[in-house]
Amino acid sequence: MNTAANISRGPWATALHRLSRDRTALVALAFFVLIVLSCLSAPIYAWWAGVDPFKSTLDAVITIDGVQHPVMELPTTGLALGYTPIGPTWRLGNYFLGADNQGRDVMARLLYGGLNSIVIASAATAFTLIFATAFGLLAGFFGGVIDMVISRILDVLWAFPVYLLAISLSIVLITQGISIGPITIESSSLALPVFIIGVIYIPYVARPVRGQVMALRQSDFVMAAIGLGAPSGRILWKDILPNVSTTLIVFIPIMMALNMLTESALSFLSIGVQPPAASWGTIIQDGQTLLYTRPAVALAPGIMIVISVLSLNVFGDGLRDALDPRSKIKLGRG
């Protein structure tokens, strides 16, 4: 594509054109969109299957090819102690992936859990980007005392390993929730992991934004706006924020992937999503005791996490290359 055509298109149209030619990134995006749409169908699937994914059904019975089978089967070998959940039937709407140790439909829980995981990851990403952008803009533009205070706060958060900080905050807050003035977040609310995950990643976004703003602060067009007496708010909103927007956009899929992994880890440790709600992390925890008898319970959400995170990372690489082609050359992929 020649330079004249790129100029006539405009930077955003040119970036979209580059992205549309990146088949790998588009396939990755398609996989993630398919997962999102599947999870959004969770209520429809549960209604169609006639199951409650959050209620124990130890005495349920299903019919397969005219033959009734108990959802919780009594072992026929060994000491015959306890019950074993039914395995995958591979029939949609009829315990497709089998049942967990409480007789709940794994497929229905997988869809509901995925919906919660995606919602938490998306909300935490928005939380991080909003506050990190605000801190980065203020610290980078005004400097001085404001920069020193914000930078020291970010340094404190930066000093802790991500998962150690997330686990520590979760253990403290999961028992009592959060109460800040009129705002109260219960320990069972999905907003709690959103807040925890959103907070711990703020320094990782705020620092690059701050550095970029500091460089833009010395640019000719910003110095000219300051010299003309333009208000600081207008300069930040009209001149600086649009120039850091591409960085923020590239951060979206990257942060989504990181947040999904973090949420799954916290939920697996029972300090993330709390019962009766589910997420992919809680389903993996439910299935760890069934790993040798009903591996689908733990493997299914694990596979979904891998596909989702891999898709987001691949799409994020394509998005970065589309918005900043020079980064591709710098990394030796030209």
Q: pLDDT of 223-255, one tens digit each? A: 998 888 889 889 999 899 999 999 999 999 999
In this structure, CATH architecture of domain 22-59+106-330? Orthogonal Bundle (1.10)
pLDDT band at 332, cuts 50/70/90?
very low
HSE of 97, CA atoms in CB hemisphere, 13 A:
20
- More reliable by pLDDT, 118 or 180: 118
The pLDDT assigned to 178 comes to 85
Q: Please, are residues 114 and 120 in contact by the beta-carbon 8 Å criterion?
A: no
| The pLDDT of residue 119 is above 80 | yes
The pLDDT assigned to 334 comes to 41
Burial class (CB in 10 A: 0-12, 13-18, 19+), 74: exposed
The pLDDT assigned to 310 comes to 97
pLDDT tens-digit map of 201-227 = 999 999 999 999 999 999 888 999 888
Write down the domain spans for the chain: 22-59+106-330
Torsion, Cα of 64, 68, 73, 78 (10° steps): -100
Alpha carbon 72 to its chain centroid, in Å, reads 34
The pLDDT assigned to 5 comes to 46
End-to-end CA distance of the chain: 15
3-state helix, strand, coil in the chain (%, to 5): 65, 5, 25
pLDDT band at 76, cuts 50/70/90?
low
The pLDDT assigned to 12 comes to 77
Q: What's the CA gap between 283 and 242, in Å, rounded? A: 41
- Average pLDDT score over the chain: 88
Alpha carbon 147 to its chain centroid, in Å, reads 29
What is the mean pLDDT of the segment spanning 251-269? 96
The pLDDT assigned to 81 comes to 58
Q: What are phi and psi of 145, to 5 degrees?
A: -65, -40
The pLDDT assigned to 329 comes to 40
pLDDT tens-digit map of 151-181 = 999 999 999 999 999 999 999 888 888 877 7
Taking the CA atoms of 264, 123, 11 and 247 in sequence, report the sign of the dihedral they define.
Answer: negative
The least confident of 10-14, 143-147, 196-200, 307-311 is: 10-14
Q: Please, are residues 62 and 86 in contact by the beta-carbon 8 Å criterion?
A: yes
Q: Which of 104, 146, 27, 159 is nearest to 276 (CA)?
A: 104
The pLDDT assigned to 287 comes to 92
Q: Whole-model pTM above 0.85? A: yes
pLDDT band at 16, cuts 50/70/90?
confident
What is the mean pLDDT of the segment spanning 34-55? 94
Q: What's the CA gap between 254 and 234, in Å, rounded? A: 29
The pLDDT assigned to 309 comes to 97
| The pLDDT of residue 38 is above 50 | yes
Q: What's the CA gap between 309 and 32, in Å, rounded? A: 9
What percent of the chain is predicted at pLDDT more than 90?
63
Q: Which of 133, 101, 98 is nearest to 208 (CA)?
A: 133
Q: What's the CA gap between 100 and 109, in Å, rounded? A: 10
